[in-house]
Amino acid sequence: MADRLTMQDPRQQYPQPPFPRQPQPVPGLAAKMDPVPDHGETSYRGSGRLTGRRALVTGGDSGIGRAAAIAFAREGADVAISYLPEEESDAREVIQLIEAEGRKALALPGDITEESWARDLVEKTVAAFGGLDILVVNAGRQQNRADISKVSSEDFDRTLKTNLYALHWIAQAAVPHLPPGASVITTASVQAYEPSAILLDYATTKAGIVAYTKALAKQLIEKGIRANVVAPGPFWTALQSSGGQPQEKVQQFGGQSAFGRPGQPVELAPVYVLLASQEGSYISGEVYGVTGGAGIA
């Protein structure tokens, strides 16, 4: 793992392609990736910016959600993570890392495309922690398809339910529990602005997440609650190796960025912490691009 606090050339800070071929079945496991992503397991250092807060992070077993969950715990928050049952081995590692910080951890295995579960996981978090202050809706589905003819109705439906419907169900269930000062953070993508030809349904949902969150922010500020979007570029997560990209693109993933490498999930963690903390008190309705130099427009 890189030393994140020592000044260095960011282009050389983490692994660069080419990477090995590494196909995985959906949803994929971080532990089986080569190289294994840095989620902050040893590299993220906290400073108490979220002491006493209560957070729910969807997709918290691996990738961006895992990095946010680890960082939140290191900053002093209790953290619940939702994930698919197939991701249990990755999730167990995150639960152990949260508890190692002396914080409460809650494991929530289930499928957020089921409306009843999407709503129930909020209620379970509130019951376990006595409230909810930070909501990160991050879990996503990404499966590349070479041509529009290959995007089945089942594909389209499952991607929209995972990435958009679940966002609505979870946010709707969470808002009555959120106090003034609370924060909602969603995960979009550079795909919302520069969609890839092979990600028709995924890019559509990521643009939808931006619009939904900006509209939600206008409602929630009337309750003293902030809502913002993080829009990552190419980040090294199991989403890519489990069908998010063709294997030839996985092997060169991130190589086309200005940095010549993909981002590591821990490099997003400080943005989620900022948006969750009181240091972000005047930030709402914004989209934070972390794209390796590609920008968002």
Distance, CA of 52 to CA of 73 (rounded, Å)? 10
> Is the separation of the CB atoms in 34 and 21 below 8 Å?
no
Which entry of 83, 165, 193, 202 is annotated as an active-site residue?
A: 202
Burial class of residue 162 in the structure, from the number of CB atoms within 10 Å of its CB (0-12 exposed, 13-18 middle, 19+ buried):
buried
> Is the separation of the CB atoms in 224 and 180 below 8 Å?
yes
| Residue (of 53, 62, 58) closest to 130 by Cα position | 53
Other Cβ atoms within 10 Å of 160 Cβ, number: 18
Tokens at residue 65, please?
A: 């959600």
Residue whose tokens read 């009555």: 176
Q: Reply yes or no on whether 272 is catalytic.
A: no
Distance, CA of 123 to CA of 76 (rounded, Å)? 22
Burial class of residue 239 in the structure, from the number of CB atoms within 10 Å of its CB (0-12 exposed, 13-18 middle, 19+ buried):
buried
- H or E element: which one contains 116? helix 115-129
| Residue (of 18, 123, 30) closest to 80 by Cα position | 123
Tokens at residue 63, please?
A: 């990738």
Burial class of residue 44 in the structure, from the number of CB atoms within 10 Å of its CB (0-12 exposed, 13-18 middle, 19+ buried):
buried
Q: How far is CA 264 from the centre of its chain?
A: 12
Distance, CA of 135 to CA of 170 (rounded, Å)? 9
Q: Hey, which residues are catalytic here?
A: 202
